[in-house]
Amino acid sequence: MEQRTSAGRAAAGARAPFAWLLVALAAQTLAGCSGGGDNLQVSTDPQTLRQRCTALTGTTLGASAAQVSAAALMPASGATPEYCSVNAQMTGSQLKMQLNLPIAGWNGKLAFLGGGGFDGVMAAFTASYNSASIQTDRYATMGTNGGHDEAATDPNYFKATFATDPQQLADYTHLADHRSLPVGKQLIKQFYGAAPTRSYFEGCSMGGHDALIEAQRYPDDFDGIVARAPAGNVMGLFTQFNRIAKAVRVPAATLDGGKQTLLANAVLAQCDSLDGANDGIVSNPSACHFDPTVLRCPAGADTGDSCLSDAQIATVQTITTPFSTTDGSITHPGYNFGLENSADGWGSYIWPQAAAGNDSLQGLFSDGFIRSFITGDQSYNTSLYDPNQWGPQLASIGTMFEAFDPDLSALHAHGARLILLNGTNDTSVSPRDTARYYESVVTKLGQSTADDTVELFLEPGVGHCTGGVGPDQVDLLKALVTWTEQGTPPSKQSLTLTKLDTDGAVTASRPLCRYPAYPRYKGSGSLSDAANYACSTQ
């Protein structure tokens, strides 16, 4: 992520509170200055909207709190309708936003999309893990760059030096979406002549973190929120990333392709059938108590791909077991077994890969986080990192960054709903972490209030956001709208996960089961058909 000097950390601590004041003032200003939107007629005429689109460039908003830098018509393509693409920037800030406004058939609603990774780019509203209804139901969409510009292809991306700037740090960790939302709503009103009647949020990974930030800190911003693979326990996540990266960077301790397959096959042999179906998917991971020591080489020495050495077993245990700092302030529950030899499983974030310079994505992200957010030293040797020695710095950043607060009472009072989703074989955001967050919400609110506020679903055999051997497609935004506007929770909507081929045809399906249930095979019929599975807690 990024690097910070001790002076930079002190400045962030001193100046960050002013960001809240700026938000309040900006919201007040935007509420009182419409930039002309109040005087526009409501229009659904495509030609009128095309003309309004090109005229938006240069428009100032909220007494110059933001300005439109570009607005252009984008032609329809496939499922994506013709739309007006609008780019705007907050004055005196690197916080940028992009809106995509359908020219015809706008449904009157806003879908705000979260970012990902270290942000720096606009969220793609056509991403495969987004709900399909964002396009088919013609939402106005909005996203931000997280408060700074940095393309993922930039060689300095993983350094995340934006954190040395207090405002950029505040925007990235918790403020960008909340700060830009009033501007986006004003732009929508200026374009269509009417503000959105409903506002929803959907994000995955760090976008899922953004979703939880909104639910916990700014509960009045949205009518409903979808948090896919939500990195809420972000301090624990980066700490676990570092623990694992240190292990797999040691050649004798990592697992080559043959050993990965050995481990994957052994896990399937023990745990695949726990859901009643031998289908290559561990659908009931909570019952999978695999012990890697059964694969130990004689005397613990590495004798080839038919066994694991003691060092390799220790690595597997580091990946799959919980961690806690000495004072218990930072914890992580570890990752599930399954897909150990898959590019969409452990190969996604855990194992070193050529595309990441023979490092792992966990290593790249955790190095940036440690050097830029914690130690303030870009040359710091992260193999020596011990979180127990950096308690004050971790606590300071955690105050801004953490999104693991189970108190969703304000969200419930607002009447908004939250859907949580996680793949069971995600090696970025652990599904165990998402499950324990949900359980903490139930403990905090009580089962009845929690049921009226949040539901959690796990996707068997699915990796980070999408991909894996399991079905990974489900329109959660449509489910959220049904819950919010009609009162029927997702768990009562008979939702189905689907797996699609390159032509968009369904190749497999499973029922989407509310946690702690999982899809259990009924004993007959195609293993690829959701009709032959029932949600079970047994």
Kindly compute the dihedral angle of the four CA atoms of residues 241, 242, 247, 250, in this order, to the nearest 10 degrees. 120
Mean pLDDT value of segment 504-523: 97
pLDDT given at position 44: 87
pLDDT in tens, 262-275: 999 999 999 999 99
Mean pLDDT value of segment 235-255: 98
Mean pLDDT value of segment 148-174: 93
The pLDDT-based confidence of 39 (bands split at 50, 70, 90) is: low
pLDDT in tens, 396-444: 999 999 999 999 999 999 999 999 999 999 999 999 999 999 999 999 9
| Segment among 58-72, 264-278, 297-311, 336-350 with least mean pLDDT | 58-72
pLDDT given at position 40: 66
Spatial separation of the C-alpha atoms in residues 373 and 175, rounded to whole Å: 17
pLDDT given at position 176: 97
The pLDDT-based confidence of 43 (bands split at 50, 70, 90) is: confident
Decide: residue 414, CB within 10 A, 0-12 exposed, 13-18 middle, 19+ buried: middle
Mean pLDDT value of segment 185-203: 97
Q: Which two tokens stand for residue 259?
A: 């050993």
Residue owning tokens 């405002």 = 167
> Is the pLDDT assigned to residue 10 strictly greater than 70?
no
Contact 421, 226 (CB under 8 A): yes
pLDDT given at position 393: 97
C-alpha to C-alpha distances, 255 to 246, 302, 351, 352, nearest whole angstrom: 13, 11, 8, 10
The pLDDT-based confidence of 155 (bands split at 50, 70, 90) is: confident
Element (H, E) at 170: helix 166-170
pLDDT in tens, 323-334: 999 999 999 999
Mean pLDDT value of segment 497-512: 96
pLDDT in tens, 441-487: 999 999 999 999 999 999 999 999 999 999 999 999 999 999 999 99
pLDDT given at position 472: 97
Report the mean per-residue pLDDT for the chain.
Answer: 92
Residue from 456, 460, 457 nearest 509 by CA: 460
* Residues whose CB is less than 8 angstroms from the CB of residue 289 and which lie 6 or more positions away in sequence, other chains included: none
> Full-prediction pTM beyond 0.85?
yes
> Is the pLDDT assigned to residue 530 strictly greater than 90?
yes
> Is the pLDDT assigned to residue 75 strictly greater than 50?
yes
Contact 530, 494 (CB under 8 A): no
Domains of the chain: 1-152+163-196 (no CATH), 201-232+403-496+510-516 (3.40.50.1820), 236-401 (no CATH)
- pLDDT-above-70 percentage for the chain: 93
Contact 339, 346 (CB under 8 A): yes
Spatial separation of the C-alpha atoms in residues 323 and 243, rounded to whole Å: 9
- pLDDT-above-90 percentage for the chain: 87
pLDDT given at position 41: 78
* Residues whose CB is less than 8 angstroms from the CB of residue 357 and which lie 6 or more positions away in sequence, other chains included: 364
Mean pLDDT value of segment 223-227: 98
Cβ count within 10 A of residue 322: 12
> Is the pLDDT assigned to residue 141 strictly greater than 80?
yes
Mean pLDDT value of segment 370-388: 97
